[in-house]
Structure 1
């Protein structure tokens, strides 16, 4: 046996891989913890040896000190065997034996970081205190890295699918979302953005996402984000889930160029990371049985994003769970039993109405009875107030609703449109004329109460106006097509079509609206020529 082979097996003290117990299982967290402990061990060894070298260089007697009895030198410089020595077949395991007296100084050798190899012919002490320990520790670390990489390479055991795979995530990658997996608890900390990145993510959420998913009180969450020093988990499982959902929403709202510039990471990879983190954090927070508003906020934000991530079909079955959770905490009731303060009542209203929006978007024609109806709740629409008007104080009273546009204006317009949509569905047996009259009444109400106060020179106000115009044009177009063509002139028929075409074009091309264009992702694509052709057929 060559000396090189001996030093890589017997002398390292590491059990060869073929002798490892195949039934011994270690979770990813355990493997990572073991690897870190070995790295710390190596660091301490190097530090202590460096101190000994410095002490030795200051003592001239160290160079002439006799070697301990029973020790041998691997080479004249004690830096390991030379190539010629390691290749000499005469240097065998049986020739590297010494007298048993070498065993009497075991403790001394341990202090000198030597290594004792017990053989059938006696004991061999290798007295090289640096390379013996250093190479052994490095060898163990390389083995641990190999084990972790081998574990991660298994498609069935990987906690995350590798980014960039066109085949998509494996079927097992999302099981922990429903059932939970304790092995992912420590792994989630590695998915957190850095504190400096989190401030940018939060700002992007406030500007790009919050107006569309109005479920958070911005000042409250902003305080948490600014005070964040460690991992999300340091704030508990509930807030961890919410922070992951916020991160996922912010990245979803940004285009590829913005993500690459600010994070130096592909957008798809960040979305995959934060979606996985959101799902596992929700599982850790026991979202299946939760009665906590924060966990519900995180879950509703997550479901609101799925259509924009290409997973629209997953929303409908999940909404059954959300409705049960929401009703279990009384979100569908506007009473004092569930809300201790006006602040809490407003928070609950916003959350309930966002649930209504998501439910309406995921509604199935074959099962309309499973969706929310106006008669199934009495929760009022939120007040037209900015977040700064709401104080988290039991004794505080809400100020009167503003007439001017606020951060809640779009949410309130959507509430009115939701009511209109439900009325048109319930009154499907009525004539198109009656439905068109109901549409005009709602349009007049929204124009007077909300749209009339917008300042169209501001990007956000003009965006809201265009979105409302698109909605009304599509509904008018649908109702007109249900009526005989002889009842309407060509101009009356083409007007909503042209408004639809103009609105869609503006939403896709206006550069000042780029930060809100993510709302068009995953939605039904508008084929402008097809809309025009369909309308011409019904003239």
Structure 2
């Protein structure tokens, strides 16, 4: 009697095929079902399924084209048209001896090969990838077929006890995650999710709330078994929701300070993204998590690092095919719309990040017939995954109004930059100020934009709705920013020669801008969106206000202007007092100069000034501490140079000793002064070097190199402590205007700042 295992079979008997086990052992199979060998060994006998017969190849493409061409010629002849006389048939006239097939190959070869490169999406088990070249288009089907056999190398693979070599945690600045980060309690998760819906989502719109709500409920109910990509999205939502809260709100909600919570959930978000293998992902959920993370770190990361990370996200999106509209790729209306939202949010974020690190913005917003279309003006409730037709767009304000408003501005800005004349002179970050020299044309363009915004959005906005009120404020700010760029003081050669009317016009514009920024951050109705305002402050306007207050301390509007500056600093105290970004340190120096000029002017008129604001006190303390650190470092350097000189003098020959004897204390003092002000030791037409310590170590001619203790080659490497300790860059002779090219360099600084002098 046959064993039970051997009596089973997967396929019906077919005598022409050997079983799999006999084929692998390379032994003869009696081709029975089950076979004798499997019965003897008491194993399951599985017969290899036959491969389907190959389809007979149809006629070649060349033959089909030739047949169609012949048919078209016959139709033309029936209507009395000679194909040989048709314009463009020079091929036949010039080469009468070539047969029709060769001629057809000459005409059609390129178009037929071009069809091989048609972009397509390959849907795998856990991802969707764009295939857009000849090599991958030929193996796309093989990849899809092999995935089921070999298994999917998804981001959910691996155990929590192992650190992946491909997690790329160093890209985000974190450590390789060994275990999953810890979620807050379920009730806290629900509250943070609701905060995200109210405070964050209206300004981003990169997720679909109704479908994500269902997924969040499932995740909360089974928190131990969440896919790693969705886990990354959850932690990104926790982190950015906490950013929108005040310190008191954080204590009431979670019992800890905002600083502690931000540090914890920033690290958790990085760990979750690394566990999800974000660098190799093709998952929309992981990309959504990364985009939210980039927006949450934009105020704390160095601008160049943020811009580079944004470039990583754009590359991931391009690999998923987001640079091509989803409709052209055959995607569903729902997925097409989500991809459009993600792509435009990324591009808008990239343009601002580029501007803040000194790069040209709005340079790659050019649209063609394959680019993703602007997101639809619809509510999330109008979208659902199973929809078969695109939603009908609303002509009234929807949840998308803020994103639609920003997209409209991006299109306007890119169109104006495209119309700019090509300038011979290299420009810095704010090259858009040079667009359209004709003031009349500029005014026409401004009115066109305002009319367009009014027609599409503003006339429908209800100020009682917070998001629509935000759009109204944003539109006013944009109008003033464009007017400021139109009359930007960078084109003033000498302030005394500028008409008083033009100076007053620019002054009124920047004061209105400051008022609008303060209102957007202080209005109780807009408090939920206040977290978004600081990143978009027009710092050129702030610089102009402070420089004008420095030049004219007793300006008729000085009291009003200082009130606005005080509110701006007090509202954004942590950011404005930050020493991590040279831009804020440089603006702080200018603010102190302006305040000092006001104190001196009032003292001359025997007027008492009330106690300085707290931020002025703190700015002065920072610079005092930095000067003390710098003096201590210079003293240590002088002592080290003196010791090195004595050692060399005892070991070198007479000639070298003579050279060393020139290192007198006076020369050492000159050296110390040179370290303090390197620009003073160079000719006027030679720009000071801006090499960092690494480049100086490689490129400096001197063997020892004058590299300071912080690792910087010179103070002009934009190190914050050097800026705090010195302010000679901001000296502007009376009657002269601000050197805006120098400020462009500060605002576009892209050197990371490192702590120096033991700080």
TM range (shorter): 0.5 to 0.7
Q: Distance in 2 between the 1:286 and 1:247 partners? A: 20
* TM-score, with length taken from structure 1: 0.61
Counterparts in 2 of 1:62-461, with a 5 A limit?
175=170, 177=172, 181=176, 183-185=178-180, 188=181, 191-229=182-220, 232=223, 234-338=225-329, 340-364=331-355, 367-368=359-360, 372-375=364-367, 378-395=371-388, 397-429=389-421, 430-433=436-439, 434-461=441-468
Question: Which residue number in structure 1 is paired with residue 512 of structure 2?
Answer: 499
Counterparts in 2 of 1:4-15, with a 5 A limit?
none
Q: Distance in 1 between the 2:464 and 2:362 partners? A: 42
SS of match in other structure, 1:281:
helix
Q: Distance in 2 between the 1:210 and 1:427 partners? A: 34
- How big is each residue's C-alpha offset from its partner over 1:17-70, in whole Å with a ceiling of 9 and x where there is no partner? xxxxxxxxxxxxxxxxxxxxxxxxxxxxxxxxxxxxxxxxxxxxxxxxxxxxxx
Q: Distance in 2 between the 1:312 and 1:305 partners? A: 13
Q: Distance in 2 between the 1:217 and 1:451 partners? A: 25
- How big is each residue's C-alpha offset from its partner over 1:325-358, in whole Å with a ceiling of 9 and x where there is no partner? 1111111111435452111111011000100111
Q: Distance in 2 between the 1:338 and 1:242 partners? A: 26
Deviation at 1:457, TM superposition (A): 2.7
Q: Distance in 2 between the 1:367 and 1:310 partners? A: 17
Q: Distance in 2 between the 1:337 and 1:425 partners? A: 28
- Is 1:176–1:283's contact at 8 Å kept on the other side of the alignment? no
Q: Distance in 2 between the 1:178 and 1:310 partners? A: 11
Counterparts in 2 of 1:482-521, with a 5 A limit?
492-521=505-534
Deviation at 1:313, TM superposition (A): 3.8
- Is 2:322–2:339's contact at 8 Å kept on the other side of the alignment? yes
Q: Distance in 1 between the 2:316 and 2:511 partners? A: 43
- How big is each residue's C-alpha offset from its partner over 1:120-174, in whole Å with a ceiling of 9 and x where there is no partner? xxxxxxxxxxxxxxxxxxxxxxxxxxxxxxxxxxxxxxx9xxxxxxxxxxxxx96
- Is 2:169–2:274's contact at 8 Å kept on the other side of the alignment? no
* TM-score, with length taken from structure 2: 0.44
Change over 3 Å in CA distance of 1:223–1:311 after alignment to 2: farther
Q: Distance in 2 between the 1:256 and 1:525 partners? A: 26
Question: Which residue number in structure 2 is paired with residue 20 of structure 1?
Answer: none
SS of match in other structure, 1:229:
helix
- Is 1:329–1:338's contact at 8 Å kept on the other side of the alignment? no
Deviation at 1:514, TM superposition (A): 1.4
Bigger relative contact order, structure 1 or 2 (CA pairs below 8 A, ≥6 apart):
1
Change over 3 Å in CA distance of 1:529–1:183 after alignment to 2: closer
SS of match in other structure, 2:263:
helix
Deviation at 1:460, TM superposition (A): 2.8
